[in-house]
Amino acid sequence: MERIDAKALAARIKADAARQAEELRRQGVVPKLSVILVGEDPASEVYVRGKQRDCAECGIESELLRLPADTSEAALLAEIARRNADSGVHGILVQLPLPPQIDEQRVIEAISPEKDVDGFTPINVGRMLIGEDCFLPCTPAGCIELLRASGTPIAGKRAVVLGRSNIVGKPMALLLLRENATVTVCHSKTENLAKIASEADILVAAIGRDRFVGAGMVKDGATVIDVGINRGPDGKLHGDVDEAALATKAGWITPVPGGVGLMTRAMLMVNTIKAAQKGR
């Protein structure tokens, strides 16, 4: 299988975001993303640092609010309300996961839909469902861009999504449907998953299981989008797909690391610019 060059694609998308940020600045608008991090989850720290670096590269101002792990839900909601009301803040992102005393869904719903650059609020999810203009969730939106960049036809094709989370699997299925694919969603209760997966022209793996998808689950010539990020027993990062096992097949695949993750970050920049353009 040939690798889709996510690095080059993400760089192109970020360069375009930077050009748009410059244009906004010329008009007197400084695009700004506010990130809230509660606690000290090491993976979240890495993600947040990455987002700040991306903002700096794209000419987007970024603010990081660090709150202690024992922060109350009310205190977090108050911080969100402050940023909702601040016209200088265009995008608000609360890094997930949150500590157990905080209701994640309530927090997401507190973010103004106009500043919801993650695309997680019910308003944006609903708008996506009915095909209205909205902030698309970054990971699935990035996967669609990867499919386009590889020249993979989507309309009329059989797409199988492994995983049905609110942030990846479900929106991924919706976006593929919007692109006119025939979509099947598999999850932990699915029977004959391997057979269903092996019939896919487009296979998106988002289950969080180290190298779960082997050669027998992939059709020759398929495009495989590997969303998973798993720490393997070797201490290294691996996807949900066993890329090495697919080496002799025809088709396209995204590497892990250096695949979907880069696109998720790039699409956040796209959404932040869009929020600034709307909020100007």
Q: What is the dihedral of CA 49, 55, 56, 57, to 10 degrees?
A: 110
Q: Of 67, 129, 75, 134, nearest to 107 (Cα)?
A: 75
Q: Which of residues 95-134 bind ligand NDP (CB under 6 A)?
A: none
**130 vs 191 by CB, closer to ligand NDP:** 191
Residue with token string 């839900």: 73
Of 14, 20, 32, 51, the catalytic one is 51
Nearer to ligand NDP, 46 or 56 (CB): 46
Catalytic residue among 32, 54, 95, 226: 95
Give the number of residues in contact with ligand NDP, rule: CB under 6 A.
Answer: 25
Q: Which of 72, 78, 83 is nearest to 38 (CA)?
A: 72
C-alpha 114/C-alpha 105 separation (Å) is: 17
Active site residue 95: yes
DSSP annotation of 125 reads: H
Q: How far is CA 117 from the centre of its chain?
A: 11
Least distance between ligand NDP and beta carbon 163 (Å): 4
Q: Does 260 bind ligand NDP (CB under 6 A)?
A: yes
| 26 lies in the site for ligand NDP, by CB under 6 A | no
What span, in angstroms and rounded, lies between the C-alpha atoms of 91 and 88? 9
Backbone angles phi, psi at 42, to 5 degrees: -60, -40
CB atoms within 10 A of CB 154: 19
Instruction: Tell me which of 14, 32, 54, 118 is the catalytic residue.
Output: 118
What are the start-end ranges of the H helices in 27-121? Answer: 42-58, 73-85, 104-110
- Smallest distance from the beta carbon of 139 to ligand NDP, in angstroms? 4
Active site residue 27: no
157 a catalytic residue: no
277 binding ligand NDP? (CB under 6 A): no
Q: Between residues 127 and 209, which has the closer beta carbon with respect to ligand NDP?
A: 209
Q: What values do phi and psi take at 78, rounded to 5? A: -65, -40
Instruction: Based on the shown chain and the rule CB under 6 A, indicate whether residue 261 belongs to the binding site for ligand NDP.
Output: yes
Torsion angle of alpha carbons 249, 171, 51, 142, nearest 10°? 40
- Does residue 224 interact with ligand NDP by CB under 6 A? no
Q: How far is the CB of 187 from ligand NDP (least distance, A)?
A: 4
Q: What residues numbered 169-198 form the site for ligand NDP, per CB under 6 A?
A: 169, 186-190, 193
| Segment interacting with ligand NDP (CB under 6 A) among 21-29, 62-70, 116-124, 200-208 | 200-208
Question: Judged by CB under 6 A, does residue 158 bind ligand NDP?
Answer: no
Which of 49, 50, 62 has the alpha carbon at shortest distance from 21?
Answer: 62
- Are the beta carbons of 193 and 236 closer than 8 angstroms? no
Please report how close the Cβ of residue 265 comes to ligand NDP at its closest, in angstroms: 8
225 lies in the binding site for ligand NDP (CB under 6 A): no
Minimum Å gap between C-beta 118 and ligand NDP is 11
**Residue ranges that bind ligand NDP, judged by CB under 6 A:** 139, 162-165, 167-169, 186-190, 193, 206-209, 227-230, 260-261, 264
Q: Which residues are catalytic?
A: 51, 95, 118
